[in-house]
Amino acid sequence: MDEASVENLQQFSISSDFFLQYIDCSQLQAAFTPLRKSTRSALWPLMEQKIKARENTDLQVHIEDTLIHCHLLPLQCFSEYFEQEVRPGQAVVELPAQQVPSAAFQIVYDWILDPNRQLEWEHFVSVLSAAEFLRIPALVERCWQHLDNPKVVENVAFFVFLQARKFRSVQLQPMMLRRICRFFLSLVSTPEFCELSLEELSVMLASNIVGVFDETDVFYAACQWLLYDWSERQHAVESVMKLVRFERMRTGDLARFCVYQDCAELQPILRHPATKQLVDRALATICSQQQRCNTKNSGADGSSWIITHRLPTERVRLVPDTAETLAFAAGDTSYDGFIEFLHVLYSKPNIWQTFRLSEDNMSLLEDMFGECAV
């Protein structure tokens, strides 16, 4: 730059600074304040539109053979997994299909973009599994709100159980099994009941709310499970028989079991030492209870002289009041009679919905299930 140019620039700077004494900053502020607000579109709706349209995605999610294009930022806003596990600039993330099926991830991502996204019942449990794996607390909470619905009972609860089993949900599986009441005997008539594991069977038969006409129904259901694969399950006779509340059976049925008066099919179970001991103990308990009532519990000094065994909790009782249930209650009480009733239940899948609960159980189930108990 020559000397003349430098001199002209210096003169311009001096004159510019000198001019400021003729104008106030407030005048400049007022002069350049817009008369009208900007008509430019807001940023977020435009960004939301592009994100929902999957434009310029910056992340690929691989689940087995499925490739899903996503935006990382929305995932990071809700998922602790993507916030903590995905590195800046990482272009590809691989997720395990066992915990996060591709269809479930698609629903999860759609829910992140739209909180009103419906969670379809076909994928409900898989969405819960994905939300738990991806650590999305808001979605997990929403799923559990659905599961707390009093309509998720009976056959619906067993459907959820079957779905949860695929994802090894140790919290959801036993919860659903404990919500089966009137549907219990219809369930026993299905192959799915016989295919339960010993642990799953134990959860169900330990429940106080499985609906039965008599405790012998539970005993026969247990026998049905054992005989389904006797060679593999005979070692479990003692564990399964301990789930039966023999003290809640009729004395006549217990006496019949003592002398093995039932079909030949049950003989290995009835003659098993554990079953014999449980039946004998139940008879002794019932007899002592009856004797206690007859003698009014006391000797000459007024003290109790009979040692009593506390009876197990009574299960929910069904009241026979339809043609099918009246015939069952008044008919053959043997295992063969029970199997015949299961055939009736199997041929009429919805008949369990006509089963009526005893009045003593209604208040308990209404507290648990609301109007769905009726």
The rounded distance, in Å, linking the Cα atoms of 81 and 133 is: 8
The rounded distance, in Å, linking the Cα atoms of 219 and 231 is: 19
Confidence at residue 181, expressed as pLDDT on a 0 to 100 scale: 94
Q: What is the DSSP string of 149-204?
A: STTS-HHHHHHHHHHHHHTT-TTHHHHHHTT-STTHHHHHTSHHHHTS-HHHHHHH
The rounded distance, in Å, linking the Cα atoms of 238 and 240 is: 6
Q: Average per-residue pLDDT in the chain?
A: 86
pLDDT above 90 coverage of the chain, percent: 60
Run means of pLDDT, 10 residues per run, the chain, 374 residues: 55 59 76 73 82 89 94 94 91 95 96 91 94 96 91 95 93 94 96 97 95 96 97 97 95 86 86 94 82 55 50 88 90 90 95 89 64 50
Kindly state the DSSP code that residue 129 receives in the 8-state scheme.
H
Confidence at residue 374, expressed as pLDDT on a 0 to 100 scale: 45
Kindly list the domain boundaries of the chain, sorted by start residue.
Answer: 209-292+314-367
Confidence at residue 293, expressed as pLDDT on a 0 to 100 scale: 61
Type and span of the H or E element at 94:
strand 92-94
Q: How many CB atoms sit inside 10 A of residue 194's CB?
A: 17
pTM, two decimal places: 0.81
- Interior CA angle at 161 toward 159 and 167, to 5°? 120
